[in-house]
Amino acid sequence: MSEIIELCRRAREASYALSAASRATKDAALHAMAAALRDNTEQIVTANAKDVAAAREAGTPESTVDRLALDPARVDAMAAGLEQLAGLVDPVGEVVRGYTLPNGLELRQVRVPFGVVGIIYEARPNVTADAAGICLKSGNAVLLRGSSSAAESNAAIVEVLRAAAAATGLPADVIQGVPGDRAAVKELMQARGLVDVLIPRGGAGLIQTVVSESTVPVIETGVGNCHVYVDSAADLDLALTILLNAKTQRPSVCNAAESLLVHAEVASEFLAKALPALVDAGVTVHGDAEVVAAGKDIESAADVVPATEEDYGKEYSSLDLSAAVVPSLEAAVEHIRRYSSSHTDAIITRSQAAARQFVQAVDSAAVVVNASTRFTDGGEFGFGAEIGISTQKLHARGPMGLPEMTSTKYIVIGDGQIRN
Amino acid sequence: MSEIIELCRRAREASYALSAASRATKDAALHAMAAALRDNTEQIVTANAKDVAAAREAGTPESTVDRLALDPARVDAMAAGLEQLAGLVDPVGEVVRGYTLPNGLELRQVRVPFGVVGIIYEARPNVTADAAGICLKSGNAVLLRGSSSAAESNAAIVEVLRAAAAATGLPADVIQGVPGDRAAVKELMQARGLVDVLIPRGGAGLIQTVVSESTVPVIETGVGNCHVYVDSAADLDLALTILLNAKTQRPSVCNAAESLLVHAEVASEFLAKALPALVDAGVTVHGDAEVVAAGKDIESAADVVPATEEDYGKEYSSLDLSAAVVPSLEAAVEHIRRYSSSHTDAIITRSQAAARQFVQAVDSAAVVVNASTRFTDGGEFGFGAEIGISTQKLHARGPMGLPEMTSTKYIVIGDGQIRN
């Protein structure tokens, strides 16, 4: 038996005890894990320093090094995250529906853990504690595969968390790191039957690899090519405030806006205000002919450039924005159907009819009316925790909190019912 | 563009109109489809006769031919099924959860259609009307791929249904048959992005093929290696009644029992009653040493044979039953974890503690206490319609009714909210 298969089997075995654990036991483990992180800050920061040194030596950009680096404050934040999880309702055991059948059978559909969850992720080592906590609280054994650039940090964090979980009476194997090279990851992705679900967290390349190479069911997360459509009936000042927030408040995240669509009727008025404001905020606008023409008259016209077809499909994750003028709401919907990653798309309008039509026709994880796209987030939605944002349609869509980390089973209680 | 891709694109296009259709429109279409099936009974039965003749010519067993054959009564039953669907609540638009966030954003999670669903199925042509109806009611365009042995029947049914849907104002392409050879099916299974979900309905071989060859997300259905565990605290008469029902009432279906586990404390008493009763009912028992020994004293001892390891993993779908004596409830759970297909497993016991422990520890789509396994069924569960029984953990588990044929999206309504 390979090392990975052995690891998966241990996770499965450990998952039985975890699925039977009470909320009290799981919350005690989360508090113990938080305390252990704080107690072992030095050990974790020392391990992290090796990863940081290796990254710098390899010429990694300083922004990536910053995401990788841990200090006592960041370790404390990881611990606080685990304590926050302990305060959330346990999803396991929730009765999703239930009634008594005509023959007297009592039927209940209840939430149960998946069993074994694999998380494949990049860069930030805080994901290690975060994902371990969410999986533990939802009753799932977890296999954690971080990026090799954070290997020392992740190994140190996993060791601390395992010891703390074991000290509260849970099997240490409810939390395991996945060692080895790409072949090991491949084996993990093919461990159908041993691993119940894989969740990739990271860039489009990672997600694409996991989706196409896995036989284990995958929950796709994260790629966001989000649109803001300014309707003919929009309050243009409101539209501009929202657009600037959606594009510039934190351009690197998946719920940031990447594309602006403007109804032709208000295009010249809106673009006359919006283009200088965007450019002032450091945004490069990749526009269609009308947008570029509107940009000719502004001071920094150089920052309004012609868009290629490719631009409209891009998740820039930077201060870039594609932009187009559309003749109608229907055309905006068609554009979004064609280019959107179906993460979050917004309409700005005062028209109830336009809002209703847009909300019906745009099939994205989140459809927003008169607000920033930046709210699509487990924290903002009030979930208390988030493992990622699903952009697929099966099982979970949008921000995934604790309930999305469970399956269900039917419990059927009778007193001798047979079928005729 | 290949014929299959073209078909998928037409389905996607048609799905937009269907997803916007009101319940009234969809119900009118279902009634029109039912009427059209009845009006075209002769055409359908004539087409079916060609399939039946070809099947007989190919030496197909008469039981399979019977499943393939349509007569006016069966066509009428298909029509009645569509009318029944019209009477069910529309899952689309159901608010799954909703609240107002602290910043005033109104958040709702609502059910929406998947978009395009592919159904790959075997034998019975009534599945064609059934699946088309369930998909239409849940707002999904459907691509129907039946077995080649029912090609004439399915083509006739699809033609009738398309015309009826079109006559009520929906695009005919909300229902399409998938023609072509295995390469065409392969292309369908790889149409990720164009097809939202694939549901295979049929034998283990078909399901395995679809699961392993698809890049489109799949909902696995149906294989049932179901257990009946007779606990030491069981009412043994009740246990026998339930066991006989679970095994013999309809042995060919997925919720029939395939394996008996008996607690050692009651084994000799129970087996002394159960083995003759099973054998009388025509069952061949594949038992472990203790079961075989218990069978030595009964009249038809020849029908109690030694089980191989393989027997315990089998879905017989026939009057065969594997059987073993276990030393404890824990051992029964371990056996079930090892061999069960996680479809439906039952415990017979008078002990509240044993029931609670079994229900917690057995992770199957349905866990039953003191009743037959045969109840795991959309009809019996009161769902009104069923597209299949999911034996996987993502998205849907157990019988899948109309709500399970939908995804959700978040609708976020604001009045200018931006993120700080």
Q: Is B375 in Cβ contact with A397 (below 8 Å)?
A: no
A245–chain B Cβ distance below 8 A for any pair: yes
- Is A409 in the B-facing interface, judged by CB distances under 8 Å? yes
Angle, helices B23-39/B41-57, rounded to nearest 10 degrees = 70
Amino acid at A102: P
- Mind listing the pLDDT tens digit for each residue in A295-318? 998 877 789 999 999 999 999 999
pTM (global) more than 0.80:
yes
**C-alpha span between B290 and B287 (Å, rounded):** 7
CA B128 to CA B75: how far, in whole Å? Answer: 11
Q: Identify the burial level of A203 via C-beta atoms within 10 angstroms of its C-beta, where 0-12 means exposed, 13-18 middle and 19 or more buried.
A: middle
B414/A371 touch (CB, cutoff 8 Å), yes or no: yes
Asked if B91 contacts B406 with a C-beta cutoff of 8 angstroms, the reply is: yes
CA distance B353 to chain A (A): 14
Paired tokens of A296: 């000719």
pLDDT at A183 over 80: yes
pLDDT at position A180 over 90: no
CB burial of residue A366 (10 Å; 0-12, 13-18, 19+): buried
Q: What is the secondary structure of B188-219 as a DSSP string?
A: HHT-BTTB-EEEEES-HHHHHHHHHH-SS-B-
Residue with tokens 């999803």: A91
A–B: how many Cβ contacts below 8 A? 201
Q: How confident is the model at residue B300 (pLDDT cuts 50, 70, 90)?
A: confident
Q: Which two tokens stand for residue A114?
A: 């998946």
DSSP state of A91: -
Q: How many helices (H) and strands (E) does chain A have?
A: 15, 16
The pLDDT score that the predictor gives to residue B381 is 96
For A176, the enclosing helix (H) or strand (E) is strand A175-177
Q: Which residue has the higher pLDDT, B7 or A298?
A: B7
Is 80 exceeded by the pLDDT of residue A222?
Answer: no
Does residue B301 have a pLDDT over 80? no
H or E segment to which residue B400 belongs: strand B398-400
Average pLDDT over residues B264-281: 97
* pLDDT for res B205: 87
Is residue B228 within 8 Å of B257, Cβ to Cβ?
Answer: yes
Please tell me the predicted confidence (pLDDT) of residue B85: 97
Q: Name the minimum distance, in Å, from the CA of A220 to any CA of chain B.
A: 11
State the Cα–Cα distance between residues A142 and A119, nearest whole angstrom: 7
Mean pLDDT of A54-75: 94
Q: What is the mean pLDDT of residues A31-35?
A: 98
Contacting residues of A for B380, CB less than 8 Å apart? 101, 419
Which of B365, B394, B408 comes nearest A410 by C-beta? B365
Interchain CB distance below 8 Å, B410 and A376:
yes
Kind of pairing between the strands at A388-390 and A284-287: unpaired
- Return the exposure string of A271-309: e unless at least 16 CB atoms fall within 10 Å of the residue's CB, then b: beebbbebbeeebbbbbbebbbebbeebeeeebbbebee
Can you list the domains of chain A with their CATH numbers? 3-220+395-413 (3.40.605.10), 226-375 (3.40.309.10)
**Looking at CA atoms only, how far is residue B36 from chain A in angstroms?**
30
Cα distance between residue B401 and residue B380, in whole Å: 12
> Taking 90 as the threshold, does the pLDDT of residue B220 lie above it?
no
Mean pLDDT of B17-39: 98
* B355 interfacial to chain A (CB closer than 8 Å): yes
> What is the Cα gyration radius of chain A?
24
**Above 0.85 for ipTM, yes or no?**
yes
d(Cα B260, Cα B227) in Å, to the nearest integer?
6
CB-based contact, B211 to chain A, within 8 Å = yes
Cβ–Cβ gap A418/B371 under 8 Å: yes
**Average pLDDT over chain B, rounded to an integer:** 95
Q: Which of B115, B371, B417 lies closest to A375 in CB terms?
A: B417
Confidence of residue A271 (pLDDT cuts 50, 70, 90): very high
A95 part of contact set with chain B, CB < 8 Å:
no
Nearest by CB: A382 against B101, B245, B420: B101
pLDDT of residue B126: 93
- Residue A406's pLDDT is 98
The answer to whether the CB atoms of A115 and B366 lie below 8 A apart is no
Q: Which of A217, A392, A419 sits opposite B372 (nearest CB)?
A: A419
DSSP B278-328: HHHTTPEEEE-HHHHHHHTTSTTGGGEEEPPHHHHT----SSEEEEEEESS
Closest CA in chain B for residue A97: B381
**Amino acid B39: pLDDT:** 98
* Interface touch B393/A407, C-beta < 8 Å: yes
User: Do B411 and A109 lie within an 8 Å CB cutoff?
Assistant: no
Is the CB of residue A233 less than 8 Å from the CB of residue A349? Answer: yes
What digits encode the pLDDT tens for the residues A386-418? 999 999 999 999 999 999 999 999 999 999 999
Distance CA A218, CA A20 (A): 25
Q: Are strands A344-348 and A304-306 parallel, antiparallel or unpaired?
A: unpaired
Contacts of A9 in chain B (CB under 8 A): none
Question: Is the distance from CB of A176 to CB of A10 less than 8 angstroms?
Answer: yes
Cβ <8 Å between B372 and A114: no
DSSP codes, B86-154:
HTSPP-TT-EEEEEE-TTS-EEEEEEEE-SEEEEEE-S-THHHHHHHHHHHHTT-EEEEE--GGGHHHH
Judge whether A380 is closer than 8 Å to chain B, CB to CB. Answer: yes
Q: Does B264 touch chain A (CB under 8 A)?
A: no
One-letter amino acid of A173:
D
Any CB–CB contact under 8 A between A394 and chain B?
yes
Rg (CA), chain B: 24
Strands A116-121 and A197-201: parallel
A112 Cα distance to chain centroid: 22
Q: Which residues from chain A sit within 8 angstroms of residue B416, using beta carbons?
A: 235, 238, 241-242, 370-371
Cβ atoms of residues B349 and B242 within 8 Å: no
Shortest Cα distance from B54 to chain A (angstroms)?
A: 35
Joined together, the tokens standing for residue A37 give 């992180």
**Does A208 contact chain B (CB < 8 Å)?**
no
Mean pLDDT throughout B179-199? 93
Q: A109 and chain B: CB distance < 8 Å anywhere?
A: yes
Of the listed ranges A364-373, B102-111, B123-132, the least confidently predicted one is B123-132
> Are β-strands B388-390 and B398-400 bridged in parallel, bridged antiparallel, or unpaired?
antiparallel
Closest CA to A117 of A23, A6, A199: A199
Secondary structure element (H or E) that encloses residue A337, with its range:
helix A329-339
Alpha-carbon distance A105 to B380, whole Å?
A: 10
Q: How far is CA B14 from the centre of its chain?
A: 26
Q: Do B393 and A381 touch (CB under 8 A)?
A: no
Whether the predicted pLDDT of B123 surpasses 80: no
B90-121 confidence digits (pLDDT tens): 999 999 999 999 999 999 999 999 999 999 99
Q: Is B209 on the interface with A (CB under 8 A)?
A: no
CA torsion sign for A151, A153, A159, A165 is negative
Provide the pLDDT for residue A301: 77
Q: What is the DSSP string of A343-390?
A: SEEEEE-S-HHHHHHHHHH--SSEEEEEE-GGG-STTTTT-S--SEEE
- Which residue on chain B is closest to A350 by alpha carbon? B415
pLDDT at B215: 87
CA-to-CA separations, A211 to A189, A207, A342, B216, in angstroms, rounded: 9, 6, 17, 10
Candidates B99, B364, B414; nearest CB to A370:
B414
Q: Which residues in chain A are contacts of B370 at CB distance < 8 A?
A: 413-417
Residues whose CB is less than 8 angstroms from the CB of residue A58 and which lie 6 or more positions away in sequence, other chains included: none
Instruction: Say how far apart CA B42 and CA A215 lie, in whole Å.
Output: 45
Contacts of residue B360 in chain A, CB cutoff 8 Å? 19-20
Instruction: State which residue of chain B sits closest to A359, comparing Cα positions.
Output: B411
The per-residue pLDDT for A208 is 86
- Nearest by CB: B395 against A241, A382, A394: A394
CB contact under 8 A, B409 and A364: yes
How many other CB atoms are found less than 10 A from the CB of residue B6?
10
Structure tokens at A213: 């190479």
Strand ordering across the sheet containing A226-230: A304-306, A284-287, A320-326, A257-263, A226-230, A344-348, A366-371, B406-417, B106-113, B95-100
Instruction: Tally Cβ neighbours within 10 Å of residue A50.
Output: 13
Q: Say whether pLDDT at B58 is over 90.
A: yes
State pLDDT tens for residues A166-178. 999 999 999 999 9
Closest approach of A102 to chain B, Cα-based (Å) = 9
Is A412 an interface residue toward B (CB < 8 Å)? yes
Give B-chain residues touching A118 at CB under 8 angstroms: none
- Please indicate if any CB of chain A lies within 8 Å of the CB of B331: no
Nearest CA in chain A to B20: A360
Rounded to whole angstroms, the Cα distance separating B221 from B199 reads 7
* Nearest C-alpha neighbor of A266 from the set A239, A301, A293, A287: A239
Contact of B376 with chain A, judged by CB distance below 8 Å, is answered with yes
| Contact criterion met (CB < 8 Å) for A393 and B407 | yes
Coil vs helix vs strand at B410: strand
Q: Is B381 on the interface with A (CB under 8 A)?
A: yes
Rounded to an integer, the average pLDDT of A124-153 is: 96
d(CA A60, nearest CA chain B) in Å: 30
Torsion (CA) A320, A326, A331, A332 in degrees, nearest 10: 40
What's A218's DSSP letter? B
pLDDT tens-digit profile of B351-376?
999 999 999 999 999 999 999 999 99
**Cβ <8 Å between A374 and B419:** yes
Average pLDDT, chain A: 95
Return the amino acid letter for A330.
Answer: E
Q: What's the gap between Cα B323 and its chain centre?
A: 26
Range from A289-303, A339-353, B57-71 that averages highest in pLDDT? A339-353
Using 50, 70 and 90 to split pLDDT, how confident is the model at B394?
A: very high
Residue A247, chain B, CB below 8 Å: the answer is no
